[in-house]
Structure 1
Amino acid sequence: MTDLHPIRRALLSVSDKTGLIDLGKALAGHGVELLSTGGSAKALRDAGLDVKDVADVTGFPEMMDGRVKTLHPVVHGGLLARRDLDGHVAAMKEHNIGGIDLLVVNLYPFEETVAKGADFDTCIENIDIGGPAMIRSAAKNHAFVNVVTDVVDYAAVLAEMDANGGQTTLGLRQRLAQTAYARTAAYDTAVSTWMAKAIDTSEPRRRSFGGTLAQSLRYGENPHQTASFYTDGTESPGVATAVQHQGKELSYNNINDTDAAFELVAEFDPADGPAVAIIKHANPSGVARGATLLDAYKNAFDCDRTSAFGGIVALNQPLDEATAKEISGIFTEVVIAPGASDAAKSVFAAKKNLRLLTTDGLPDPKAGGLTYRQVAGGMLVQDKDVGFVGLDDLKVVTKVAPTDDQMADLLFAWKVAKHVKSNAIVYVKDKATVGVGAGQMSRLDSALIAAKKAERMAEAMDLPEPLTKGSAVASDAFFPFADGLLEAVAAGATCVIQPGGSMRDDEVIAAADDAGIAMVFTGMRHFRH
């Protein structure tokens, strides 16, 4: 392969015309012949540039509503011909094929069309065919051809041309080719994923995944691991679309934990009042509602003050000054909220290591989608857990029924348990968590740990008894034995919410009746591994 290679002829055909005119002028300044199609040719010509239509080069007009315009040997021969092979050069001369040294293509806006909710036929019409074909041809022949699929790469090509007398280096062409193949792969992923959903195919025989680099991270979960953050083009509110107002770059763990926090707090409708979630290592250390955001934060903080140190705070309403001042009282890694007042931002400005993220709304807890997890040799794919349980879905299975206040706490605890690593036990009192047990191999151990945390907090707050006394408790899956339930009773729980479905349900129900507590079944499990 040669290293430096000149750009003498370029084909520009873009749907996103950002920077097109400046690029065309710069290329013309280097004496590059410009070829183009449709709207791109018109835009360049209107800017006073000399442009040759691809139709004039191929001898065929654009036809079939533009579906056929670049699928021609003169175009693909110009992209694929190796300039170092006599046979290729001879074929170019024999068939009057001019070499194309630069291809600039960005594809029909398929992803944007789908995002706007367009109908099936409109989405089909926005699937680019000629663009990906040209991109792959140019990328394969990157020894001689530059292929540009992103506006951000215009500057790199022009910089090398300026530095090398109109030539580019092999290193740049290789990087551009890799980006090009990734772009067509991501494009095909978007099309195939959309089509699987559109034709109601939940388990397509082949599935692909794609993303765009948003951030190179300092490291992964641990310093010896490299990591990056990629986005999938989804525009819904969340960590990927949030605006960062201050603080150093987010780390791998920051992004993971912030996503967990925001997804959890979004379970609580802001129309029903403020809610705050504090997350540590992707598990909630405290979640609460309150009359104000300040009250909600204090209540969440009081569940586990120790774990809140260095945690992630998510709010379901815009951050205000009073809450910002309270959060500033301890070291906090990230705060994410659907907005923040100027006064709140000013409070955080003094905390240079605290990251403040704002969004234009909350994630939709009922929005569908897929989740992915890599395993050795493959990928596990499942629907996102958007399971919802309301008052009418609950089945009272004990002699004693929950009161209205208990039922409210049970449903609150159930929402939190959905976001706690299994096995999960969550104690709630007055719409605030007072004990969380997460990620244990035994449900009994989770119940014990949550109760022990509550005891420790009672000592720290100089309370006469742990807040688990008189609490509601949620279990993300059924109690396989009565021991876990009895541990919750010993901690002071007076009502229980759990899926039910164990072979020993009768034993567990009998234990609840003997203890004189209320218990409801949801019929739904919320494992989170």
Structure 2
Amino acid sequence: MAVASKKIPAPDLVPVRRALLSVSDKTGLVDFAAALAHSGVELISTGGAAKAIAAAGIAVRDVSDLTGFPEIMDGRVKTLHPAVHGALLGIRDDPEHQDAMREHGIEPIDLVVVNLYPFEDVRRSGADHASIVENIDIGGPAMVRASAKNHAYVAIVTDPEDYAPLLNALEMNIGSLSLEFRQKLAAKAFARTAAYDAAISAWFAETLEIENPVWRAFGGKLESVMRYGENPHQQAGFYLTGDRRPGVATARQLQGKQLSYNNINDTDAAFELVGEFDPSRSAAVAIIKHANPCGVAEGKSLKEAYLKALACDPVSAFGGIVAMNRTLDAEAAEEIVKTFTEVIIAPDVSHDAQAIIAAKKNLRLLVAGGLPDPHSPGLSVKSVAGGLLVQGRDNAVVTARDLKVVTKRTPTPQEIANLQFAFRVAKHVKSNAIVYAKDGATVGIGAGQMSRVDSSRIAARKALDAAEAAGLAEPLTKGSVVASDAFFPFADGLLSAIEAGATAVIQPGGSMRDDEVIAAADEHGIAMVFTGVRHFRH
């Protein structure tokens, strides 16, 4: 049953006479408290915050003096008291509330400054279960929500970044805060507690292995406002969820223009792809355009891998994203800057390489500090009208032991290596995906087509174009292997790949017409392996 409103209008300006400061993050706290005290604001505080303020010689009243009750249970109970929440929730212009406050000796609090126990940081640190639970804040969110609900009279600050704007607003309004300012603080406060509770509920679901909880919440903090989204008429912002998986969200940008919406989307796709390749085994480079790879390769060096990747589709590489699985060195940097590139992302960068990139001022250079683990779990979220589609990250990695030879001819060891390479790339190509590979490099990629045979033909056509650009007599698909992200529903897609020159095929299998496809492979002397794993990517 809904609670009826008394329809008491909120005042515009509310003087700030008393403030309650209860913070975990003490960044800027003492200076902020000093400025409030200088303005004549009475300060009330708790625990370590009170000690820090008092140590600076600033008059502060402990919350236990206000409640008449000590902090108990290791500080678990300190602000959960009518003397606090009555001071926050009381409607100052309601006679009944006024009488209750007078009767119980409750004085109003006009400003509350709270930031919550660092649950998200403790969870990411790998702390044990008990430590994580102990960092679930209870009193803090209760005060935040109480103050935000009663924003008609109370200002709530949940972020040290708001200290300076609040002090400026107090000065502009001679010790008062406007209703509009209080409303904006309240909106931010509710968003903060929502994101906090989302992190806690997600941790419980993960810990208890609840794959599909009845209520699913997601939260994030605004990192940057984009100039626009995918198109200029779309607004966009970049939010950080707190996941420490190495990638575009955790990377440091060393130079270049602000990342756009499309830059971030494409850079994430590129770095996730190169994360498939162990840097201790080989250097790997991926060139991405519109979230699809236009060239991927392994090599003994990043320079070698980059040049092999570039050769796959040099036209599409113009204005693309380049990702690598090793520290960017000068030799590779010199090659990359020869082609217009939007973003480079790597685990690290050498000083010499950074100096080379610096000559291209608009080129964005990101250092991620590590590689994403292709095996790690996680969630993928997609919005649809009226809802969210949530699934686990595609963390399936197919090894040579997983391959099942289904044809009369068994692939050679070299073909096996190229088949594994091609299938790893196909995992990151929009469906329907066809990837031709040879000597540890893609030589033709067909992406995002409604028909698998069309993807096969487009990949072969691109290989022809690349051969012409390189002055080769025939496309590199001759003698290549081919990967399909899903099964061939008919033999036509396979026949198209054979026509392009593929000698071995890797695909999930599972079609009603597998026997027909296998027979076509045998008829042409082609080796084929099934993985039992599909990699649709929409």
Is 1:6 paired with 2:20?
A: no
- The one-character-per-residue Cα deviations of 1:462-483 (angstroms, maximum 9, x if unpaired) are 1010000000100000001110
1:98 paired residue number = 107
Preserved contact between residue 374 and residue 397 of structure 2 (Cα < 8 Å): no
Report how far residue 316 of structure 1 moved.
Answer: 0.7
Q: Secondary structure at the match of 1:272?
A: coil
Q: Secondary structure at the match of 2:312?
A: coil
Preserved contact between residue 280 and residue 308 of structure 1 (Cα < 8 Å): yes
- The one-character-per-residue Cα deviations of 1:97-118 (angstroms, maximum 9, x if unpaired) are 1111111111111111211222
Is 1:117 paired with 2:126?
A: yes
Q: Secondary structure at the match of 2:494?
A: helix
Q: Secondary structure at the match of 2:425?
A: helix
1:513 paired residue number = 522
Report how far residue 50 of structure 1 moved.
Answer: 1.2
- One-letter amino acid of the counterpart of residue 358, structure 1: V
Is 1:164 paired with 2:164?
A: no
Counterpart CA distance in 2 for 1:483 and 1:505 is 12
Is 1:174 paired with 2:183?
A: yes
1:327 paired residue number = 336
Report how far residue 43 of structure 1 moved.
Answer: 1.2
Q: Secondary structure at the match of 2:380?
A: strand
Is 1:216 paired with 2:225?
A: yes
Q: How do residues 415-434 of structure 1 correspond to structure 2 at under 5 angstroms?
A: 415-434=424-443
Counterpart CA distance in 1 for 2:125 and 2:235 is 35
1:490 to 495, 499, 507: 499
Report how far residue 322 of structure 1 moved.
Answer: 1.9
2:455 paired residue number = 446
Q: Secondary structure at the match of 2:280?
A: helix
Counterpart CA distance in 2 for 1:327 and 1:403 is 34
Q: How do residues 349-388 of structure 1 correspond to structure 2 at under 5 angstroms?
A: 349-388=358-397
Is 1:145 paired with 2:154?
A: yes
Preserved contact between residue 120 and residue 198 of structure 1 (Cα < 8 Å): no
1:457 to 439, 460, 466: 466
1:242 paired residue number = 251
Report how far residue 528 of structure 1 moved.
Answer: 0.3
Counterpart CA distance in 2 for 1:383 and 1:85 is 51
Counterpart CA distance in 2 for 1:476 and 1:344 is 36
- The one-character-per-residue Cα deviations of 1:349-368 (angstroms, maximum 9, x if unpaired) are 22122111112111111111
- One-letter amino acid of the counterpart of residue 27, structure 1: L
1:60 to 57, 69, 72: 69
Q: How do residues 13-92 of structure 1 correspond to structure 2 at under 5 angstroms?
A: 13-92=22-101
Q: Secondary structure at the match of 1:519?
A: strand
- The one-character-per-residue Cα deviations of 1:86-130 (angstroms, maximum 9, x if unpaired) are 332222222111111111111111111211222222222211111
- One-letter amino acid of the counterpart of residue 318, structure 1: T
Q: How do residues 273-288 of structure 1 correspond to structure 2 at under 5 angstroms?
A: 273-288=282-297
Is 1:266 paired with 2:266?
A: no
Counterpart CA distance in 2 for 1:78 and 1:121 is 33
- One-letter amino acid of the counterpart of residue 221, structure 2: T
1:199 paired residue number = 208
2:508 to 494, 499, 519: 499
- One-letter amino acid of the counterpart of residue 198, structure 2: T
Counterpart CA distance in 2 for 1:154 and 1:521 is 60
Counterpart CA distance in 2 for 1:352 and 1:198 is 45
Aligned-residue CA RMSD in angstroms? 1.0
Report how far residue 397 of structure 1 moved.
Answer: 0.6
TM-score, with length taken from structure 2: 0.97
Counterpart CA distance in 1 for 2:170 and 2:140 is 24
- One-letter amino acid of the counterpart of residue 168, structure 2: A
1:398 paired residue number = 407
- One-letter amino acid of the counterpart of residue 481, structure 1: F
- One-letter amino acid of the counterpart of residue 268, structure 2: D
1:470 paired residue number = 479
Report how far residue 161 of structure 1 moved.
Answer: 1.4
Q: Secondary structure at the match of 2:476?
A: coil
1:522 paired residue number = 531
TM-score, with length taken from structure 1: 0.99
- The one-character-per-residue Cα deviations of 1:144-182 (angstroms, maximum 9, x if unpaired) are 211011111111111111222222222221111111000
Q: Secondary structure at the match of 1:254?
A: helix
Unaligned runs of 5+ in 1: none
Report how far residue 81 of structure 1 moved.
Answer: 1.4
Give identity over the alignment, percent.
65
- The one-character-per-residue Cα deviations of 1:223-277 (angstroms, maximum 9, x if unpaired) are 0100000010112211011111111111000000000000001111110121100
- The one-character-per-residue Cα deviations of 1:31-72 (angstroms, maximum 9, x if unpaired) are 111111111111111111111111111111111222211111
Moved over 3 A (4+): none
Query: How many residues are paired up?
Result: 529
Counterpart CA distance in 1 for 2:460 and 2:318 is 20
Counterpart CA distance in 2 for 1:132 and 1:43 is 22
Counterpart CA distance in 2 for 1:65 and 1:17 is 19
Counterpart CA distance in 2 for 1:67 and 1:243 is 37
Report how far residue 287 of structure 1 moved.
Answer: 0.1
Report how far residue 345 of structure 1 moved.
Answer: 1.6
1:480 paired residue number = 489
Counterpart CA distance in 2 for 1:200 and 1:365 is 20
